[in-house]
Structure formats: structure tokens, C-alpha cells
Amino acid sequence: MGCDCICADTATCSDSPALLIFLSTISLTISKMPKIRIRKISVGLKRLILFAIAAFVFSLFTGILITNNSNQAANAQMTDTPTSLDPSTSVTDTISQITSKPLYTHSTWGYEVSDLATGEALLSQTNNTMFVTGSILKAYSTAAALAAYTPDYRFQTPVYGIGAIQDGVLTGNLVLVASGDFSFGLRDQADGTLAFNSLPEVDHNYADTGLPGPVLLKDSDPLAALNQLAAQVQAAGIREVQGDVIIDDRLFETFDGWPDGSIAPIWVNENVLDITVTPAGQQVTVDWRPQTAAYSVRAGDIQIVPAGGETQLNAELVQPGVVQISGQVAADANPLQIWQIPNPADFARTAFIQALARAGITVSAIATGANPTNLLPPAATYSEAQKLAEHTSPPLSEFTKVILKVSYNRAADLMVCLVAVQNGDRDCPAGIAPVITTITQLGVSQNSTFMFDGAGSDERDRTTPTDMTTFLRAVAQQPYGVAFREGLPILGVDGTLATNQKGSPAAGKVQAKTGSRIHGTPDDRLLITGLTHIGYIEAESGRQLVSAVMLRDVPVASPDEIFAADGDLGALEAAVQQGF
């Protein structure tokens, strides 16, 4: 995955649980939370990875960043001397101490720090070399969506009655037209914002990590929008539907060709089941949401291990409509797990029919089963007179904020699909070209930036430090520049950076997106192919800076070295913030 997490087998991990032991190859992505799926690996590597994940998560939760080890003297020769045009001596000294560690003898550092207003380059090294992006690619996809739709754009999800209405009876079909609203009530707040978790509370989309941290959003209701729409239909005078309920998901073709799972026009609970397992003695209770007639969840073979032990759960579809969760759970744990819904439109239809029933509206059609798209009217033939209800979302700027704050992969991919739609195409991959056009107009070079998805989950994604700082400066001048910057995680304050450098002088002064890629090798070693941070820095002097720090090809022999490397990127940013 291109998220700030660890993810093995990136082609499939986001739509199946983590910690499926027995992996043939490992592809890992780190920065925010470990997310792991493992098949066919040695016991030694398995233990190494799991310990690395636990240690890295601990560092995120506690705010402790290991920037060096006592046995690693900073005495290796620099392979590429940094260019320093106007920094204080302390900044260059700190950078040299970080980048010259023996850990990076065979690695490549690239960075560029520039003045936001003038573009003056203050620090640079290997800044025109391409690096694997990881999740910083989300900066490109979210900016392109903001440019295409504007920050104030709101998703409108209407419901139409197609047929004759007499005495409260609709003889015909009720159609909900999907708009690409990934929150669809789940994150919606009364003040017009969208809610998100900040570390140490982890977003529910990462609940298949098998590790502590993922929690449900406080006071969230996955069926909120459907219940609101059903109430509006009832208020419009409808008490019975003699026909069917249909989800019109023709906004774009549902796409599952990117690593993080299916991207659809309709989203209910972000198209996952949230599953909780609670041990009680030698028994477990299983609960899930949203509960609909589409799926039930049952406990399979779940072993309860002593308190403090490892929790490892796997959810899978074992028969139509039945999801089974199995594995092991620590006696003192209450883990959250997710299972990604494979048929979003079918699921939404069932959930909406049941919401209508709760509102006192009967539907003659059976609630479960396939979404009957063959009954849809021709596209774009709906009239205002047929509209019975409509859900209006918070502004798009709130959606891009969630994507950047929690590093939400599928939602970042959705932005590419929506850019495709805005450019007259219903195929998600067709959105990549206009995203590239947008960032090229902002100064990014087509010769050094390559994009294969919207989340940074493809190992082929590339960009350079110069491309990123050029982009960041140009975005700041756009009408959507404020919305973009406000969406970035804030060091030591919120999102994926909430616990990073918390309490340090640099906390609250750096707004940055992070990303990383890590792979296991056949001979039980680990290789960091990319660690990246990009964003805005308010320097100690008040000077506004843009920064891009990238690192590639770091062989690591111990768990300490994994998060020590990530900590070194943060230490470099903190040095810049304090030194200018």
C-alpha cells in the first residue's frame, strides 16, 4: 500500500486481513501504521517483521523517535555533499551527522528546502533524482481533485421516484444516484466538517493490521446518510414502493485494478464491515457494523491467549452473506477488524431498503440480492420533479483533509476516478493523465514524475525533491492552496503526525505528508526502497519554507534501523525548522 503503514503483498492486502501468515513475497509500506499480510516466510523473518511493526507503532504512539543508535558513530564519508546556499552552520552539521551514518553507506538521500515566497533554494542534495514516492503521491491526487472541483464542491446524492405516485404509493422504482461521497454520513459533523482519528487512535480502515490502535470514529453512524434519505422520502409522502430500489452507480465504472481494493461511486461505511471481537473467559462475542441483511458475521475458530499476547485475526467470506472471523485474541484485547465489501452497490441497496423500512416505508422487492441496474432509466434523464430526497456532503476540502491526515488510500484513488469523471471519462485509470496535466502546469516535470495510482501504492510511482518543492510553492498560489495546506498532518498535533515530535520546539510548525516503501527479501532481510516527507515549514524566524526529504535503498538488519531511518527524516525537518 501507499499508505503510511506496513503492508505485505500490496496487490491484495487492503481487501483482506493482515497477518495472514504464509506469504510468498513481502512488499511493505511504512510511515503511519503497520499493516501486514504474510505468507510463506521464515519464522525468523516473521518475528523480525512483527517486532519491527510493534516497535514502530510504539514509537508513533509515544512520540519517541529514535534518530540514532549509540553504536552507530556518525563518521562515514558523505557520498554526495549537500549544497548549502543560506543555512546556519548548525543545520548543515546536523544534516551531515544524519545522512553520513553507516546505515546509509549504500543509500541515497535527496532533499530540497526552498523559500516559499521567493523560491530561493536554501538546501539541496540529489534533488533532481527520482525516488519511490509512497504516500506523498496523495499530494498530487488530492491537489488535482481540488483543482478540478474547487474546495467548496459538495457531493449531492439524490433519490428519485421513477413512476406514478398516488395516495403515498410509488408504482415504480426508487433510485439513489451515487455521487462518489466516501463519507456519506459516516464522518459528517454538525459543524460541517469531517471527523478523522489522530494517533494514537488509528483510522478504522487500518483495522486489518492485527495490532492495537484502530478504533471507530467517536459518535459515528455508518447508516446516517441512508437514514436521512429514508426520512426525507417518508416526509415527501411515500409510504410504499411497489417496485424496486436501485443504486445508480454509473458515475464511473467500479475499479479494482489498483493495489488497495475496489473503488466505487457508492460508499456505505467506506465499504467495509467493522468487526469487534470481545473475549470473556473462554468465549468470545462478535459484533459488527453496519448490520444489514446483506451480511452476518460469525466467530470461527478463535483461540484466546493470555493477556498481553498477540492478537491475530482473519475475516473471510465463507458462504454467501456470511463472514467468518478466526485466529487468536489476547484475553485483555478488544480488537477492531475490518472486511472489505466486494459488491458496494448490492450492499448499499440492501442497507437503503432496510433504512426505508425503519422510516415506515414498505418495499415490495426483496432486500437482498443483486442491484438491478437493468431497471435504471437512461442516464441523465432524471427530473427535479422526480426528486424525493437528497444528501449534501461537507465541502471537498474536508474530504482531501481526511485523505491527507490519515493517509486514506482508497479515498486517494477515488480522487483520481473523480478527476476522470470531470474530464468526461468513466474509467478510473483515465484520471491519471489529467492529474499529471494539472501538476505539470504547476511546474512538475513529466520527465521525473511518474504516477500509476492515486495513493502511492504502486512501487513504480516516482518523483523528485525538486518536483515536490516546485509543486508545493505553486499550490500555495492556487485558489485551493489554503485548503491543501490545512489538510496536511501537523507535526506533534494531529493525523499521522500527532505523536511525532510532540512537545518539541518544531511541533506545530511543520505540515507534512509522509510515505514509505519497505520490502522483505527471499533471504530474510529487509530493504527500505523509499522513505519520504514533503510539506511546509514555518521556520523559527517566521520564514515560510517548503521541504521535500527523500531516502531510498536502505538495507536494514534490525527493527531499530527501520524506525531510526524514519526518525532521521523527522530530525532533518526539525533541524531545518529550528535553524532558519
C-alpha closest to that of 257 among 31, 448, 39, 455: 455
- The structural domains of the chain, with segments of one domain joined by +, span 156-392
Would you say residue 413 has pLDDT above 90? Answer: yes
Domain 156-392, classified CATH 3.50.80.20, yes or no: yes
The continuous run of DSSP H or E covering 66 comes out as: none
Give the integer Cα–Cα distance in Å for 69 and 438. Answer: 43
C-alpha closest to that of 494 among 32, 18, 23, 27: 32
| Helix/strand number for the chain, H first, E second | 11, 24
**pLDDT tens per residue across span 91-141:** 999 999 999 999 999 999 999 999 999 999 999 999 999 999 999 999 999
* Alpha carbon distance, N-terminus to C-terminus of the chain: 35
Give the integer Cα–Cα distance in Å for 444 and 472. Answer: 10
**CA 231 to chain CA mean position, Å:** 31
Residue 175: partners with Cβ closer than 8 Å, 6 or more residues away: 159, 160, 161, 162, 245, 246, 247, 248, 376, 377, 382
pLDDT level of residue 212 (50, 70, 90 thresholds): low
Q: Is 207 exposed, middle or buried (0-12, 13-18, 19+ CB in 10 A)?
A: buried
Residue 33: partners with Cβ closer than 8 Å, 6 or more residues away: 3, 4, 5, 6, 57, 60, 202, 206, 209, 211, 213, 214, 496
Give the integer Cα–Cα distance in Å for 241 and 248. Answer: 17
Residue whose entry in the numeric block shows the C-alpha cell 536494514: 556
**pLDDT tens per residue across span 138-193:** 999 999 999 999 999 999 999 999 999 999 999 999 999 999 999 999 999 999 99
Task: Give me the residues paired with residue 555 across strands.
Answer: 527
Give the integer Cα–Cα distance in Å for 236 and 246. Answer: 18
For residue 290, say if its preceding peptide bond is cis, omega within 30 degrees of 0: yes
Q: At what angle do helices 465-476 and 138-149 cross, to 10 degrees?
A: 30
Q: Is 383 exposed, middle or buried (0-12, 13-18, 19+ CB in 10 A)?
A: exposed
**pLDDT tens per residue across span 5-49:** 443 333 333 322 232 222 222 233 333 333 333 333 444 445 455
Would you say residue 78 has pLDDT above 70? Answer: no
Nearest-5° Cα angle at 54, 505 to 409: 75
Q: Check the CA dihedral 249-250-252-253 and report its sign.
A: positive
**Per-residue three-class SS string for 79-132:** CCCCEECCCCHHHHHHHHHHHCCHHHCCCEEEEEEEECCCCCEEEEECCCCCEE
What pTM value is reported for the model? 0.86
364: which 3 cell numbers? 415490495
**pLDDT tens per residue across span 485-530:** 999 999 989 998 888 878 889 999 999 998 888 888 888 888 999 9
